[in-house]
Structure 1
Amino acid sequence: MWKGRFSEDIERTVLDFTQSLDLDWRLALADVICSAAHVRMLSRVKLISPQECGAILSALKQIADEIKSGKFVPKVELEDVHMNIEARLIELLGSVGAKLHTGRSRNDQIATTMRLYLREELSKLGLSLCHMLEVLLRCAERHVDVVVPGYTHLQQAQPISLGHYWMAQFWAFLRDSDLLLYALKGLDESPLGSGALAGSTLPLDRHYAASILRFSGVAENSIDAISQRDYMLDYHHFAVSFMLHCSRLCEDLIIWNTSEFGWIRLPDGFCTGSSMMPQKKNPDVLELVRGRASQAIGCFVSMATLLKGLPMAYDRDLQEDKRSLWASLELLASVTDVLPPLLSRVDVDERRALDAFRDGFALATDVAEYLVAKGVPFREAHQKVGQAVKWCLERGRALNSLSVEEWKVLIPEVEADLIGLLVPEAAVERRRTFGGTAFAEVRRQIKSGKGRLEKALSEFEVYRECVLEALLGQVFTFSVS
């Protein structure tokens, strides 16, 4: 490729060290698509003849078929995916094939090819995430009327609808879908035609090439177009947020599944046993998801430190941007495969969950707010109820076991109507503030969530029209009226 400048062949150790086929061969079809669009543009601006364009397109289609069938075996000596495809084209067409790279650098080529490939991968991931959101909505619908303890500091706090908990997870993962859509929109500009960094003296039509590749626009600045990897950082930001949310969800289920809590039952098919202890049922899938969240964080850090301190425009360091990216994409694909079916089969021991309220202390806030409704200042009410809790603890009594007479001794403002409020279901039902845990309010959230999910699905569906197989068919038949 650069023999005109160099007086000796590259050392084999250098070739092995610098080759990128282990990273970029998966981009082969995307690279063919990018090349086909470029060739059609070269014909449009009369840099190659229609006959040459037709010959190159026909050969590129053959190469695409060879790639898909596995017949095309790349050569390490040719360094990367781009040079392997170009060399095969020249092998098929001779000097006509050598015209492919007119007005193009590998810098804008890889920037475009990566965006084509990643557009498909992120849209598929987005649809998988939407499926997980659907599962969470179904969990919420199934458990709207199930009352369980809610926790802060891992201490019992207040009764909640389990549906409310599932919706809390839903809104967190829905925000993740927004981050993923942001990454998709960030890569939806074509760098093709930017050249090495400064554009070209040739009359390239970048907008025409972008329209073939179904980009919504063209990158405004050629230096920025070939050097920026912001959309990758945006993806990694999404991946970290998503995996942290997964880790938190898994941690909750792991804890609630323990013998000490015991009101969540995990499906046997997603657990494993012990090699020594016959009674064990270990939540290994949840533990592995929780553990692998660290890998997503590592991939983000790897990408960020790769970019730190690079001068503007292309540097060979950027070849390494794919290592952490591929690892992260494979990680998230595996998690979105295994977690939704597990969640859909989580069962609840409602009796065990209600038994957790036997001491009644999770209802203490209800007593304080009851007093507030009767005109007692909240801080005074808080103190009075705290003293009542202390009294119960010292005597081994449950807070909700006290008679009206005992309540009046402890808190004179209490009347008989308090007793009916001191049951977990009533505590849940009375929390009717917007976004609260009341059963009707959870149902409102579910309805709202369905609308938001439908919108997210439609946004991800837009990118399904740009998947590589669809583009592969379109790029050889493209026409603009």
Structure 2
Amino acid sequence: MTIRYRAFLGDSKSFIEDYISSLDFDKRLTKYVAMVMLAHVKVLENSGHIPKEYVQDIAKELIDIVKTDGEKIYKWIEEKKVKFEDIFEAIESYLYDVVDGGAGYIALGRSRNDHVAAVLRLYARDVLYNILYNLIELRKALLEKASEYRSTIFPFFTHQQLAQCGSAALYFLSYEYTLSTVWRHLLQLLDILSENPLGSGAAAGTVVPLDIGLLSKYLCFKQGVLPPYYATGSRLFLLSLVSGIVLFMGELSRMAEDLISMNGIIPYAIEFPVEHISTSSIMPHKRNLVTLEIARSKISKIVGLYTSMLSIYKSIPYGYNLDLQELNRIFMDIVSD
């Protein structure tokens, strides 16, 4: 069945619809799309642009989508056997299907362009909160190890050769300080991820007066208005976050390489948890640091994915282009790893 928006153009082809659709990886964004739509509906209600009798039913459905983390809408899509270009189109169609009138009001003063920019900020911000929390936990573990092994003699290297010996606390504290620097760098990104792009329309704003301050309040964005062409056509906020993630991963890769190398130079000098070790099929005496090896590989993959994002982004003219959709897919691959 033809994608909803493309129905206005005439018949389409299934393989083309599959090619341009982002519905498969939009699932992680679904609850954020519903949250942004809900805030938009409430602002329209507040300004008198949508009759109050429609708001309750629309709000109820959007809240259910948030509560089920998108499962409700994807179950509906499967039952209807309809293709959609993205989750925005799917949710709009769902509301037309289940709400008795009023769904059309949602289109007032909004574009998918400014809404997806808001959705990505909300999703990326939650990703960042999770990273910051895990960074604190890792730093805490390093500080605990520094205290536990402060009286243990530890080897220190220069030029990959043994140079000095000193307290093991110095080793753990060095990495903790590195990660504290990364933490401070990432924390600054919350500011750019809290900018509110709503009200920017497709590229140059909207003639529908919207209370941007109220939208910001509902979605925990900063107060203020962005230039609409920047708001919808830039993904600097996403690339900035990925850049910070790559720096973080780079430091973790160095730590992994450090431990693997040290384990080879001075076997059994460091006692690793058994769950992070595997042995050989033919040499059972070996103790292979498999989780560190896989982590080192995944980090290299993340660096490559970041390069892919930059390669796509640098070639896109200003304003929204569907190329930007592919950045979302790559970003989710990075977060998954």
- TM-score scaled to structure 1, two decimals? 0.65
**In the alignment, what sits opposite 2:150?**
144
- Alignment partner, residue 21 of structure 2: 19
1:186-335 matched pairs, under 5 angstroms = 186-258=192-264, 260=266, 262-331=268-337
Higher relative contact order (CA 8 A, sep 6+): 1
Tell me the CA shift for residue 314 of structure 1.
Answer: 0.2
Based on CA coordinates, which of the two structures has the bigger radius of gyration? 1
Kindly indicate whether residue 65 of structure 2 is the aligned counterpart of residue 59 of structure 1: no
Match of 1:153 among 150, 156, 159: 159
Displacement of 1:218: 3.6
Q: Which of 163, 174, 178 is equivalent to 1:168? A: 174
Judge conservation of contact 1:223–1:313 (CA < 8 Å) in 2: yes
SS at match of 1:157: strand
Shift of 1:61: 2.5
1:217 Cα deviation after fit: 2.8
Residues 170, 260 of structure 1: alpha-carbon distance in 2 compared, 3 angstrom cutoff: closer
- Change in 2 beyond 3 A, CA 1:118/1:3: closer
The Cα RMSD (Å) is 1.9
Going from structure 1 to structure 2, the CA distance change for 1:220 and 1:242 (only over 3 Å counts) comes to: same
Matched position secondary structure for 2:28: helix
Q: Counterpart of 1:78?
A: 84
Question: Kindly, what percent of the aligned residue pairs are identical?
Answer: 31
* Structure 1 residue matching 2:101: 3-state secondary structure: helix
The DSSP-based 3-state class of the residue aligned with 2:163 is: strand
Q: For residues 110-133 of structure 1, give each alpha carbon's deviation from its aligned partner in whole angstroms, at most 9, with x where no partner exists.
A: 111111122112101210111011
Pair 67,144 (structure 1): closer, same or farther in 2 beyond 3 Å: closer
Instruction: Give the corresponding residue for 1:45.
Output: 47
Q: 1:150–1:91: structure 2 CA closer, same or farther, 3 Å change rule?
A: same
Structure-2 change in CA distance of 1:330 and 1:66 (3 Å)? closer
Structure 1 residue ranges without an equivalent (≥5): 332-481
Instruction: Look up the equivalent residue of 1:171 and give its one-letter code.
Output: Y
Number of residues of Structure 1 aligned to a counterpart in Structure 2:
330
Where 2:164 maps in the other structure, the secondary structure is strand
The residue type paired with residue 11 of structure 2 is D
Instruction: Give the superposition deviation at 1:176.
Output: 1.5
User: Which sections of structure 2, spanning at least 5 residues, go unmatched?
Assistant: none
- Matched with 1:435 is none
Shift in CA distance, 268/259, structure 1 to aligned 2, threshold 3 Å: farther
- Describe the shift of the 1:229–1:78 C-alpha distance in structure 2 as closer, same or farther (beyond 3 A): same
- Contact 1:219–1:225 (CA<8 Å) still a contact in 2? no
